[in-house]
């Protein structure tokens, strides 16, 4: 079995893959990372581990120690200039986030045409992948919850409170929720225009806020559970 890890800013997402299909997936908050030891204990025999880590060396070291206790050597991916059907046109390819690189590889594995690859987590990323598999570039913006938190933290009268999405809000709580959501939707839809003219173009959406964003997006859409894990599975298959 292969253990694949997507270590993000807030959560660790894991998947167990047998080379043909997923045998299990789950997530652990980084604030409760020690609990991953219990997950490992219940996974059975793991032969290889491949992961994307954007949480830093401290988290990577803690995970390495857990894996070492199971005699598993952790391998963390680094973005490449080209590989797995994707050409990386970042000005400095190695500086692309490992999670974004894996998501692009996952997108290419799942969809052969042009795609806007969107991950909506602590941050939202929207990356342009053309029909030839060329990553043309992308944007990073604060995620939906981070936008709301920044308003609560840095203003005196805009609290972090529950609201609902409405087209023309008449309550402050609704105005905050609707404004942050409209900002996310607008960024995604504007970025989709860069691939929208290509045949079979689609927005591939994943991440913790995907369920909130998806009903309101006005572009061809496919929601995927975890594009990073799908990309890691593709990489491991070709290792």
Q: Is 99 a catalytic site residue?
A: yes
**3-state SS, residue 42:** coil
Site of tokens 């402050």:
172
Question: Which parts of 69-207 fold into alpha helices (H)?
Answer: 98-110, 144-154, 172-192
Q: pLDDT tens string for the chain (239 positions)?
A: 899 999 998 999 999 999 899 999 999 999 999 999 999 988 888 889 999 999 999 999 999 999 998 889 999 999 999 999 999 999 999 999 999 999 999 999 999 999 999 999 999 999 999 999 999 999 999 999 898 888 878 787 777 778 888 899 998 888 989 999 999 999 999 999 999 999 899 999 999 999 999 999 999 999 999 999 999 999 999 87
User: So what's the architecture of 2-76 in CATH?
Assistant: 2-Layer Sandwich (3.30)
Q: What is the largest CA-CA distance in the chain?
A: 58
The pTM is what? 0.93
Look up residue 232 and give its two tokens.
Answer: 């890691």
CATH 3.30.420.40 given to domain 113-234:
yes
Comma-separated ranges of CATH 3.30.420.40 domains in the chain: 2-76, 113-234
**3-state SS, residue 212:** helix
Cβ atoms < 10 Å from Cβ of 104: 29
What is the 3-state composition of the chain as percent helix, strand, coil, each rounded to the nearest 5? 40, 25, 35
Catalytic-role residue among 18, 99, 130, 225 = 99
**3-state SS, residue 124:** strand
């Amino acid at each position: 079995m292969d253990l694949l890890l997507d270590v993000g800013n807030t959560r660790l997402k894991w998947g167990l893959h047998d080379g043909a299909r997923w045998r299990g997936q789950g997530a652990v908050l980084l604030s409760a990372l020690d609990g991953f030891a219990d997950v490992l204990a219940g996974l059975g025999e793991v032969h290889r581990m491949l992961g994307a880590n954007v949480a830093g060396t401290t988290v990577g070291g803690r995970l390495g120690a857990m894996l070492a206790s199971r005699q598993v050597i952790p391998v963390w991916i680094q973005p490449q200039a080209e590989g797995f059907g994707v050409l990386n046109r970042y000005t400095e390819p190695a500086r692309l986030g490992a999670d974004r690189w894996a998501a692009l590889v996952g997108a290419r594995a799942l969809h052969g045409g042009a795609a806007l690859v969107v991950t909506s987590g602590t941050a939202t990323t929207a990356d342009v992948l053309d029909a030839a598999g060329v990553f043309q570039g992308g944007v990073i913006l604060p995620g939906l919850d981070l936008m709301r938190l920044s308003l609560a933290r840095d203003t005196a009268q805009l609290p972090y409170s529950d609201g609902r999405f409405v087209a023309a809000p008449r309550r402050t709580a609704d105005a905050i929720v609707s404004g942050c959501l409209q900002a996310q939707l607008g960024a995604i839809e504007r970025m989709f225009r860069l691939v929208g003219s290509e045949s079979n173009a689609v927005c591939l959406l994943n991440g913790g806020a995907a369920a909130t964003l998806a009903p309101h997006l006005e572009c061809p859409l496919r929601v995927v559970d975890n594009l990073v894990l799908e990309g890691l599975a593709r990489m491991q298959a070709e290792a």
